[in-house]
């Protein structure tokens, strides 16, 4: 059953239930009240009549001055519509308000009237509420007075109420069903819009949105959330497509270079030793570049997966020292200076952390002017370890800053063609930082050079663990925590 039908059924059920309870209660209360009123009237009249006839004290002696057959006793009652019957000692009627009237009281009511002096109840034919009063004392009974109050008008009123209730309930049910239908139609509007938008998106129109502008109720909020979700999905898909396009574009260049040089080697370069050497070198270079790019892409794909890498305690200060050893030789004319080296243990993957710092240091070393300096610091503060890498280069262009961590972002396309980098370094670094629960921020320092800052939570008190690990490792590096200079031969 659809939601709309359920709405309607619910509304009908509610109206019927509430209407039936209220109607029945009102009907029963009114009937009771009308019957009680008639009974009270009958009792009142019977008592008054009995008092007229029965002179206290006399009946006990078997004498009564009032003649029970006196017609004036019942003569006035028909005017008010009441039925009156005065019976003698043997319960036979002596007179009645209407000729031939006989109120057929049940034997029990007769008996109670005789023994207890009074009784009352309801008769079906004629339909009346009756009251019976004994005339005379309990020992010497002269007879009885019976008064009947007709219930016809009460029954008529009750019948009218019954019909009104049934009619009202039917009308109320119909109205409730219609209102529920309209309400459901209105309330479910966002649901219909959501379904329509989802269908278009499934059929390929990724830019389609629900665009719901109505009330911000539960469904309205859902529509808004879904729109945001669709937008995020479209953006993610676009980035994925761009990424694949960029990656294949990046690979196309070295592959084209390789094919060109292979052609060259097949042709005239095969005979000329110098040309052959150059072509082979270029081939090697292109192959390395393609290899590095593929490796980077694999790293990124791996980092995109939810963390599965084993987590082990890593001495971050040791990683910093190792990285300087590896990257220092990249530029012979740039000095790497460690301005501070606190001890810090972090939980994570040592190779990945190395890769992160290598990418930062590699960028800084490339950017630095000849004779410049790259400053590295590892500071432990609170529960965090902070590694900063500052250089004396031109800094990151301001327009590039917001996108510097995106994939394939590079300030200068020419740099890429010369094989410097494909713009994946910082994207990888950021992914590694995040997979360690850390942050990576890029800014430009006061001196104008780039300032990168990697923050990562440390794993508890470090010193013990740290010493255990460094003791086990190969000879401790001779790095002065205050100022260390590594200057080695350059790398091509």
Residue 409 touches which member of Mg ion, ligand ATP, none, C-beta under 5-8 Å by kind:
ligand ATP
Options 395, 425, 438, 449; binder of Mg ion; rule CB under 5 A: 425
Site string for ligand ATP, 291-330 (x = CB under 6 A): ----------------------------------------
Nearer to ligand ATP, 246 or 342 (CB): 246
Q: Under the phi-then-psi rule, with left for phi > 0, alpha for psi from -120 to 50, and beta for the rest, what region is 235?
A: alpha
Q: Residue 404: which of Mg ion, ligand ATP, none does it interact with, CB under 5 to 8 A by kind?
A: ligand ATP
Alpha-carbon gap, residue 376 to 369, rounded angstroms: 17
Q: What are the residues whose beta carbons fall under 8 Å from the beta carbon of 123, sequence distance 6 or more? A: 103, 104, 105, 130, 148
Contacts to Mg ion from residues 343-382, by CB under 5 A = 363
Give me the helix-helix angle, 316-327 and 350-367, nearest 10°.
40
Paired strand residues for 87: 93, 144
Which CB sits closer to Mg ion, 363 or 484? Answer: 363
* SS3 of 363-382: HHHHHCCCCCEEEEEEEEEC
Q: Applying CB under 6 A, does 421 fall inside the site for ligand ATP?
A: yes
Nearest to 155 by CA among 186, 127, 190: 127
Give the nearer residue to Mg ion in terms of CB position, either 110 or 366. Answer: 366
Site track for ligand ATP across 205-244, x = CB under 6 A: ----------------------------------------
Minimum CB separation of residue 186 from ligand ATP in Å reads: 52
393 touches Mg ion by CB under 5 A:
no
Among 97, 422, 455, 484, binds ligand ATP (CB under 6 A): 422
Tokens (6 digits) for 233 = 């999905």
Minimum Å distance from CB 360 to Mg ion? 8
Binding test (CB under 6 A) with ligand ATP, winner from 404, 432, 433, 458:
404
Structure tokens at 62: 């078997």
Asked if 100 contacts 121 with a C-beta cutoff of 8 angstroms, the reply is: no
Residue with smaller CB distance to ligand ATP, 330 or 378: 330
Structure token digits, residue 188:
């479910």
Share of the chain residues as helix, strand and coil, in percent rounded to the nearest 5: 55, 15, 30
Q: Which letter, b or e, does each residue of 68-79 get, where b requires 16 or more Cβ atoms within 10 Å of its Cβ?
A: beeeebbeebee
Return the H-helix or E-strand segment holding 441: strand 439-444
Give me Rg for the CA atoms of the chain: 53
Among 19, 143, 348, 423, the residue binding ligand ATP under the rule CB under 6 A is: 423
Stretch that binds ligand ATP, among 160-168, 205-213, 245-253, 360-368 (CB under 6 A): 360-368
393 binds ligand ATP (CB under 6 A): yes
Tell me how far CA of residue 242 lies from CA of 10, 245, 254, 298, in angstroms. 52, 5, 19, 17
- Cα 105 to its chain centre, rounded Å, is 71
Q: Shortest distance, CB of residue 292 to ligand ATP, whole angstroms? A: 8
- Choose the stretch contacting ligand ATP; rule: CB under 6 A; options: 139-147, 213-221, 392-400, 464-472: 392-400
Binding mask 428-457 for ligand ATP (x = CB under 6 A): ----------------------x-------
The correct pick among 364, 376, 378, 433 for binding ligand ATP (CB under 6 A) is 364
Q: What are the residues binding ligand ATP (CB under 6 A)?
A: 359, 363-364, 367, 391, 393, 395-396, 400, 404, 409-411, 421-427, 450
């Amino acid at each position: 059953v659809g939601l709309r039908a359920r709405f309607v059924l619910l509304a009908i059920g509610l109206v019927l239930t509430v209407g039936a309870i209220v109607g029945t209660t009102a009907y029963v209360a009114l009937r009771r009240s009308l019957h009680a009123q008639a009974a009270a009237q009958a009792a009142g009249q019977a008592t008054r009549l009995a008092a007229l006839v029965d002179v206290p004290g006399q009946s006990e002696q078997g004498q009564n001055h009032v003649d029970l057959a006196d017609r004036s006793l019942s003569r006035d009652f028909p005017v008010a519509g009441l039925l009156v019957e005065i019976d003698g000692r043997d319960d036979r009627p002596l007179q009645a308000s209407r000729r031939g009237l006989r109120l057929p009281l049940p034997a029990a009511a007769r008996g109670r009237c005789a023994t207890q002096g009074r009784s009352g109840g309801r008769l079906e034919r004629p339909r009346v509420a009756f009251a019976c009063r004994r005339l005379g004392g309990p020992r010497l009974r002269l007879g009885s007075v019976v008064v009947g109050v007709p219930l016809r008008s009460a029954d008529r009123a009750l019948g009218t109420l019954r019909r009104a209730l049934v009619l009202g309930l039917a009308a109320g049910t119909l109205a409730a069903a219609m209102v529920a239908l309209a309400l459901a139609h209105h309330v479910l509007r966002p649901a219909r819009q959501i379904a329509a938008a989802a269908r278009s998106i499934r059929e390929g129109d990724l830019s389609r949105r629900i665009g719901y502008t109505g009330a911000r109720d539960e469904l309205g909020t859902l529509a808004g959330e879904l729109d945001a979700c669709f937008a995020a999905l479209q953006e993610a898909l676009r980035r994925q497509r761009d990424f694949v396009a960029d990656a294949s574009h990046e690979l196309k260049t070295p592959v084209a270079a390789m094919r060109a040089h292979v052609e060259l080697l097949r042709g005239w370069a095969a005979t000329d030793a110098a040309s052959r050497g150059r072509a082979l070198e270029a081939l090697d270079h292109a192959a390395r570049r393609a290899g590095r790019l593929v490796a980077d892409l694999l790293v990124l794909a791996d980092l995109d997966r939810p963390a599965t890498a084993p987590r082990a305690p890593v001495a971050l200060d040791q990683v910093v020292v190792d990285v300087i050893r590896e990257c220092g030789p990249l530029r012979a004319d740039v000095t790497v200076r460690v301005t501070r080296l606190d001890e810090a243990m972090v939980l994570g993957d040592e190779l990945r952390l190395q890769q992160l710092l290598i990418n930062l240091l590699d960028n800084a070393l490339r950017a630095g002017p000849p004779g410049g300096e790259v400053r590295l610091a590892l500071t432990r503060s609170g529960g965090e370890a902070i590694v900063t890498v500052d250089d004396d280069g031109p800094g990151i262009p301001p327009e590039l800053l917001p996108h510097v961590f995106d994939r394939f972002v590079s300030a200068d396309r020419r740099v890429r063609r010369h094989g410097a980098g494909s713009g994946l370094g910082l994207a990888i670094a950021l992914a590694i930082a995040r997979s360690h629960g850390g942050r990576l921020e890029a800014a430009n320092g006061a001196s104008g050079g780039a300032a990168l800052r990697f923050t990562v939570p440390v794993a508890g008190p470090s010193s013990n663990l740290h010493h255990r690990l460094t003791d086990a490792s190969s000879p401790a590096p001779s790095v002065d925590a205050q100022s260390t200079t590594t200057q080695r031969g350059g790398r091509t």
